[in-house]
């Protein structure tokens, strides 16, 4: 791996970003693009042609021969179809061409992408439309054009469109509040996101020997290694050479694509690592996170490693998540979750805080559902990741302020009712003193909220759509009240006090891993959706449908389509895991255990012939045989239960959660026992020691 000597020089060098555009576009074309970004005005064809031409020239100079409309179907990963720039000009010759039309609109053959029934009712085709707010880039010999993906009648079939819609909504409603506080400058409020990404790296040759890892991304079997993460010697430990050369390579590729890769370190579990970029607008952050996941995987192959993004590749050690840091800021650079310095700024901060708390409390289920997946079910609530219960951590200082405001209204201790909102200055809230509560799903960390429930393999789009939309909803309601108030300060005081009082139950500063928290949460009336199967019905509640349709984030059909896809995906994932388990049991585990038992029996015959004792062999054979029989029974039961799965998808999700996963766990117990009893040379796949301590 060569040294990277010129980071500023390579940073963004493969991106057709603002500076490339400024350099390459005619001034009037550049201005038209700028205007389109700032005001949302559509680009006319001559402008699109100008941009396409410049983009193509730039990309071909970088070695691109193809272009692709890059989109994010509802599978949660990205999709692309490549067309070359060639165009015949007679004489058997070609030119490299790319028109504004080709830039702006595409029509991939999309019949194989999940549509949740959306396309069936309308038209089979899907269309892609350029998202001019996210920069095009060159990768692997193609010009990548970020696009939205939708049906003939305009239904969103992707994860980008609703995110863009939610960003517009939260901006619009936030500006109404800002205007009330005398801000006349802000034209746009931007949802900003920094997503920390966890991942595992294991050697490629070992990975290749495990069918479960290859087919499902996680180990379905594996006795615990003698050592796990108990010594905590991996967290922030020295990064080994092979991994650090991978990380260096990864950084270089990400920087070339203009991704602000900032922090890298070892995580808690052995072979687990983390990478965090500097935050940017939610749309770009989401595109970048998709690229990060893809490049993490591709880059690993070059280093003879495999990058596992599954939420729980190994049982018994921590799984992987994504910390989604989210905030709102103005286009003039002000963070709206920064407590200010003056009473006015403090008051505005408290309004945004109140709206956030109210939104999270009222739409706990919605937020929770955005992180529901078969993989993430292994983490949430398992004392290694936040609980499945949504709550907000504010820290002592901010919590104290909220309490004093609440108590002030109740006049419990009039002399202590410190805060007159809009008049008094907030006691200072020291930054970063309180963010060490890692057990909270949603923590205030000084000037942003860190949503820690997202799974490592998931798109961050869904969670940010939810955060933006609930915030838009509550800010909108607040604006309705405050815009019509006769006495603004009095109305403000009342609104903030009442909101804090009503939604205080969502604030929890204690230990989210504690066994008393679920009980306490139940008393508070907070919901505890402990699995994907229990989440999905809640996702399409009337309340959520009203929320998303009111703000134009989804039509009801679009929303229900997503519900359908999540259900189907959940069932498919668990089914593939179950079938893989059966395959491994029948073709690898049972034969290995049997072969070893036979060897032991042969040994017993030979040893007894010379009068030697065989206590150990007898005992081992007995244990092996018992576990082998038990595993056989478990496997037969799993197969029979798979055949009896209900047709109806909603019923099936519950069935797979309750019956199939339980069968798999029972089988695993016996298989792992067999592994611990069997001579290693007989064992058909690498063990946890091999994988985690290579």
Q: Which residues bind ligand ADP (CB under 6 A)?
A: 192-194, 196, 276-279, 325-327, 335, 445, 447-448
Tell me how far apart the alpha carbons of residues 511 and 21 are, in angstroms, rounded to a whole number: 50
Query: Which residue number, 325 or 373, has a Cβ lying nearer to ligand ADP?
Result: 325
Half-sphere exposure of residue 611, counting CA atoms within 13 Å on the CB side?
A: 0
Between strands 142-151 and 66-70, the pairing is parallel
- 3-state secondary structure (DSSP) of residue 285: helix
Which of the choices ligand ADP, Mg ion, none does residue 279 contact, using the CB cut-off of 5 to 8 A by kind? Answer: ligand ADP
Query: Which residue number, 139 or 448, has a Cβ lying nearer to ligand ADP?
Result: 448
Binding residue for Mg ion (CB under 5 A) from 165, 288, 323, 551? 323
Specify the DSSP class assigned to residue 116: T
Query: Which residue number, 315 or 464, has a Cβ lying nearer to ligand ADP?
Result: 464
Q: Footprint of Mg ion on residues 568-587 (CB under 5 A)?
A: none
- 498-525 exposure pattern, b = at least 16 Cβ within 10 A, e = fewer: ebbeebeebbbbeebeeeebbeebeeee
Query: Which residue number, 327 or 434, has a Cβ lying nearer to ligand ADP?
Result: 327
Task: Tell me the residue number closest to Mg ion, measured at CB.
Answer: 323
Query: Which residue number, 384 or 672, has a Cβ lying nearer to ligand ADP?
Result: 384
Tell me how far apart the alpha carbons of residues 123 and 120 are, in angstroms, rounded to a whole number: 6
Query: Which residue number, 69 or 322, has a Cβ lying nearer to Mg ion?
Result: 322
Q: How far is the CB of 436 from ligand ADP (least distance, A)?
A: 9
Helix axes 461-483, 343-362, angle to 10 degrees: 120
Q: How far is the CB of 12 from ligand ADP (least distance, A)?
A: 17
Q: In the structure encoding, which two tokens stand for residue 430, read together?
A: 């020291």
φ and ψ at 147, to 5 degrees? -135, 160
Tell me how far apart the alpha carbons of residues 676 and 683 are, in angstroms, rounded to a whole number: 10
Which of the choices Mg ion, ligand ADP, none does residue 278 contact, using the CB cut-off of 5 to 8 A by kind? Answer: ligand ADP
Query: Which residue number, 265 or 524, has a Cβ lying nearer to Mg ion?
Result: 265
Are 322 and 455 contacting, i.e. CB atoms less than 8 angstroms apart?
Answer: yes
Query: Which residue number, 234 or 323, has a Cβ lying nearer to Mg ion?
Result: 323
Which of the choices Mg ion, ligand ADP, none does residue 335 contact, using the CB cut-off of 5 to 8 A by kind? Answer: ligand ADP
Are 342 and 425 contacting, i.e. CB atoms less than 8 angstroms apart?
Answer: yes
- Provide, for the chain, the percentages of residues in helix, strand and coil under a 3-state DSSP scheme, each rounded to the nearest 5: 50, 15, 35
Tell me how far apart the alpha carbons of residues 68 and 102 are, in angstroms, rounded to a whole number: 10
Neighbouring-strand partners of residue 196 = 323
- 3-state secondary structure (DSSP) of residue 327: strand
Tell me how far apart the alpha carbons of residues 605 and 536 are, in angstroms, rounded to a whole number: 58
Which of the choices ligand ADP, Mg ion, none does residue 194 contact, using the CB cut-off of 5 to 8 A by kind? Answer: ligand ADP
Task: Tell me the residue number closest to ligand ADP, measured at CB.
Answer: 194
Q: How far is the CB of 451 from ligand ADP (least distance, A)?
A: 10
Quickly count: other Cβ atoms within 10 Å of residue 111's Cβ: 10
Which of the choices ligand ADP, Mg ion, none does residue 447 contact, using the CB cut-off of 5 to 8 A by kind? Answer: ligand ADP
Q: How far is the CB of 325 from ligand ADP (least distance, A)?
A: 3
Q: How far is the CB of 337 from ligand ADP (least distance, A)?
A: 7
Are 463 and 325 contacting, i.e. CB atoms less than 8 angstroms apart?
Answer: no
Which of the choices Mg ion, ligand ADP, none does residue 276 contact, using the CB cut-off of 5 to 8 A by kind? Answer: ligand ADP
Query: Which residue number, 371 or 497, has a Cβ lying nearer to ligand ADP?
Result: 371
Q: In angstroms, what is the C-alpha Rg of the chain?
A: 28
Which of the choices ligand ADP, Mg ion, none does residue 259 contact, using the CB cut-off of 5 to 8 A by kind? Answer: none
Dihedral in degrees, nearest 10, Cα atoms 648, 649, 653, 659: 30
Nearest alpha carbon to residue 660 among 368, 317, 374: 374
Look at the block and give the residue holding tokens 């809230």.
429
Which of the choices ligand ADP, Mg ion, none does residue 384 contact, using the CB cut-off of 5 to 8 A by kind? Answer: none
Tell me how far apart the alpha carbons of residues 254 and 268 are, in angstroms, rounded to a whole number: 24
Q: How far is the CB of 153 from ligand ADP (least distance, A)?
A: 35
Tell me how far apart the alpha carbons of residues 496 and 473 are, in angstroms, rounded to a whole number: 16
Query: Which residue number, 289 or 399, has a Cβ lying nearer to ligand ADP?
Result: 289
Q: How far is the CB of 380 from ligand ADP (least distance, A)?
A: 19
Query: Which residue number, 32 or 350, has a Cβ lying nearer to ligand ADP?
Result: 350
Which of the choices ligand ADP, Mg ion, none does residue 257 contact, using the CB cut-off of 5 to 8 A by kind? Answer: none
Q: How far is the CB of 7 from ligand ADP (least distance, A)?
A: 17
Q: How far is the CB of 330 from ligand ADP (least distance, A)?
A: 12
Which of the choices ligand ADP, Mg ion, none does residue 165 contact, using the CB cut-off of 5 to 8 A by kind? Answer: none
Query: Which residue number, 188 or 668, has a Cβ lying nearer to ligand ADP?
Result: 188
Tell me how far apart the alpha carbons of residues 193 and 441 are, in angstroms, rounded to a whole number: 16
Helix (H) or strand (E) holding 24, with range, is helix 18-24
Q: How far is the CB of 323 from ligand ADP (least distance, A)?
A: 6
Q: Is 458 left (phi over 0), alpha (psi -120 to 50) or beta?
A: beta
Helix (H) or strand (E) holding 329, with range, is strand 321-330
Are 191 and 328 contacting, i.e. CB atoms less than 8 angstroms apart?
Answer: yes
Q: How far is the CB of 452 from Mg ion (least distance, A)?
A: 8
- Displacement of CA 69 from its chain's centroid (Å): 23
* 92-100, 146-154, 318-326, 338-346 -> range binding Mg ion (CB under 5 A): 318-326
* 319-327, 398-406, 556-564, 686-694 -> range binding Mg ion (CB under 5 A): 319-327
* 57-65, 317-325, 415-423, 673-681 -> range binding Mg ion (CB under 5 A): 317-325
The alpha-helical segments, DSSP class H, found in 118-193 are 118-121, 160-180
Q: How far is the CB of 441 from Mg ion (least distance, A)?
A: 13
* 320-328, 377-385, 568-576, 654-662 -> range binding Mg ion (CB under 5 A): 320-328
Q: How far is the CB of 353 from ligand ADP (least distance, A)?
A: 14
Q: Footprint of Mg ion on residues 479-518 (CB under 5 A)?
A: none
Nearest alpha carbon to residue 75 among 373, 281, 307: 373
Which of the choices Mg ion, ligand ADP, none does residue 327 contact, using the CB cut-off of 5 to 8 A by kind? Answer: ligand ADP
Query: Which residue number, 236 or 693, has a Cβ lying nearer to ligand ADP?
Result: 236
Helix axes 615-643, 556-584, angle to 10 degrees: 150
Q: How far is the CB of 454 from Mg ion (least distance, A)?
A: 12
Query: Which residue number, 88 or 237, has a Cβ lying nearer to ligand ADP?
Result: 237
State the residues that interact with Mg ion by CB under 5 A: 323
């Amino acid at each position: 791996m060569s040294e990277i000597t010129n980071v500023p020089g390579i940073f963004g060098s493969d991106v057709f970003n603002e500076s490339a555009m400024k350099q390459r576009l005619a001034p009037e074309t550049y201005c038209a693009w700028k205007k389109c970004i700032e005001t949302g005005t559509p680009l006319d064809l001559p402008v699109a042609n100008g941009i396409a031409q410049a983009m193509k020239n730039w990309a071909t100079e970088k070695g691109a021969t193809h272009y692709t409309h890059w989109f994010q179907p509802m599978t949660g990963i990205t999709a692309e179809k490549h067309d070359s720039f060639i165009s015949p000009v007679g004489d058997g010759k070609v030119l490299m061409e790319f028109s504004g039309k080709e830039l702006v609109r595409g029509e991939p053959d999309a019949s194989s992408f999940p549509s949740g029934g959306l396309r069936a009712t309308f038209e089979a085709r899907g269309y892609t439309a350029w998202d001019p707010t996210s920069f095009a880039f060159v990768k692997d010999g193609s010009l990548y054009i970020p696009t939205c993906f939708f049906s003939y009648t305009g239904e969103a079939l992707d994860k980008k469109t609703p995110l863009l819609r939610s960003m517009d909504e939260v901006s619009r409603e936030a500006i109404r509040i800002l205007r009330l506080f005398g801000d006349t400058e802000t034209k746009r409020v931007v949802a900003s996101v920094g997503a920390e990404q966890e991942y595992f790296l294991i050697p490629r040759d070992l990975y290749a020997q495990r069918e479960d890892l290859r087919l499902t991304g996680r180990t379905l079997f594996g006795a615990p290694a003698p050592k796990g993460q108990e010594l905590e010697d991996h967290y922030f430990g020295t990064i080994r050479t092979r991994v650090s050369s991978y990380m260096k390579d990864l950084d270089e590729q990400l920087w070339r694509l203009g991704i602000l890769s900032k922090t890298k370190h070892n995580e808690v579990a052995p072979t687990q690592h983390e990478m965090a970029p500097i935050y940017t607008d939610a749309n770009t952050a989401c595109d970048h996170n998709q690229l990060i996941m893809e490049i993490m995987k591709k880059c690993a192959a070059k280093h003879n490693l495999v990058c596992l993004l599954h939420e729980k590749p190994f049982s018994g050690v921590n799984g992987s998540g994504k910390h989604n840091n989210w905030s709102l800021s103005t286009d003039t650079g002000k963070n709206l979750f920064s407590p200010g310095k003056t009473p006015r700024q403090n008051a505005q901060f408290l309004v945004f805080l109140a709206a956030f708390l109210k939104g999270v409390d009222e739409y706990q289920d919605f937020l929770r559902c955005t992180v529901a997946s078969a993989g993430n079910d292994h983490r949430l609530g398992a004392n290694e990741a936040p609980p499945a219960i949504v709550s907000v951590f504010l820290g002592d200082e901010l919590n104290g302020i909220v309490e004093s405001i609440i108590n002030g209204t109740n006049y419990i201790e009039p002399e202590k009712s410190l805060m007159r909102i809009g008049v008094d200055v907030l006691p200072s809230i020291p930054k970063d003193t309180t963010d060490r509560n890692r057990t909270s799903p949603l923590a205030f960390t000084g000037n942003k909220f860190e949503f820690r429930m997202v799974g490592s393999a998931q798109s961050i789009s869904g969670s940010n759509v939810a955060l933006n939309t609930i915030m838009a909803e509550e800010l909108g309601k607040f604006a309705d009240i405050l815009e019509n108030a006769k006495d603004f300060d009095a109305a403000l005081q009342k609104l903030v006090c009442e909101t804090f009082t009503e939604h205080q139950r969502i604030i929890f500063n204690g230990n989210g891993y504690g066994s008393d928290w679920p009980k306490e949460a139940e008393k508070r009336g907070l919901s505890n959706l402990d699995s994907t199967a229990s989440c999905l019905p809640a996702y399409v509640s009337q309340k959520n449908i009203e929320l998303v349709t009111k703000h134009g984030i989804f039509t009801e059909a679009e929303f229900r389509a997503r519900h359908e896809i999540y259900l189907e995906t959940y069932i498919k994932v668990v089914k593939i895991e179950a079938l893989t388990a059966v395959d491994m049991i029948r073709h690898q585990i049972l034969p290995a255990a049997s072969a070893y038992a036979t060897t032991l029996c042969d040994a017993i015959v030979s040893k007894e012939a010379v009068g030697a004792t065989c206590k150990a062999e007898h005992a081992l054979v007995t244990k092996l045989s018992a576990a082998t029989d038990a595993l056989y029974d478990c496997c037969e039961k799993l197969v029979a239960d798979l055949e009896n799965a209900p047709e109806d998808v909603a019923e099936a999700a519950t069935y797979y959660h309750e019956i199939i996963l339980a069968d798999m766990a029972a089988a695993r117990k016996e298989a792992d026992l067999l592994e611990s009893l069997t001579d290693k040379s007989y064992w058909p796949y690498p063990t946890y020691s091999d994988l985690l301590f290579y």
